[in-house]
């Protein structure tokens, strides 16, 4: 089965530093997402991306966050100036394969990047 890949699996950074989390969605998918999960808590939506632009973002996704699809394969999440409360697992996901059956609706998740802000 195709996979969403995320790198790195763990990232440790100092407060105030910029981080870039990288994702390679499944190649013929159309929607891309970032979610985050603070340890033991719910999966929180950050942003969705469709047709090279943000289709929705949550209140969490403030000016410190940005997403980019720089080269047609990677999908990145940038946090400009990290805060302690940004420490979480960040999941990338992709969905909607128009070349596949319409029942193929699930989100394919990457294995996550654990971000620790010190």
How many CB atoms sit inside 10 A of residue 61's CB?
Answer: 20
Among 34, 61, 90, 91, binds another protein (CB under 8 A): 91
Note whether 3 binds another protein by CB under 8 A: no
CB of 80 to another protein, least distance (A): 25
C-alpha dist (Å) from residue 54 to 57, 86, 100: 7, 21, 24
CA–CA gap between residue 117 and residue 107 (Å, rounded): 28
Binding stretches for another protein (CB under 8 A): 31, 33, 35, 41-45, 48, 50, 55-56, 89, 91, 93, 95-96, 103, 105-109, 111-112, 114
């Amino acid at each position: 089965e195709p996979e969403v890949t995320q790198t790195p699996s763990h990232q440790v950074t100092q407060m105030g530093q910029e981080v870039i989390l990288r994702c390679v969605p499944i190649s013929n998918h159309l929607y891309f997402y970032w979610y985050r999960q603070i340890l033991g808590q719910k999966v929180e939506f950050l942003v969705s991306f469709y047709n090279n632009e943000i289709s929705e973002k949550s209140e969490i996704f403030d000016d410190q966050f940005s997403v980019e699809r720089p080269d047609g394969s990677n999908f990145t999440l940038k946090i400009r100036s990290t805060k302690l409360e940004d420490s979480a697992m960040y999941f990338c996901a992709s969905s909607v394969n128009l070349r596949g059956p319409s029942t193929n609706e699930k989100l394919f998740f990457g294995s996550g990047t654990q971000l620790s802000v010190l």
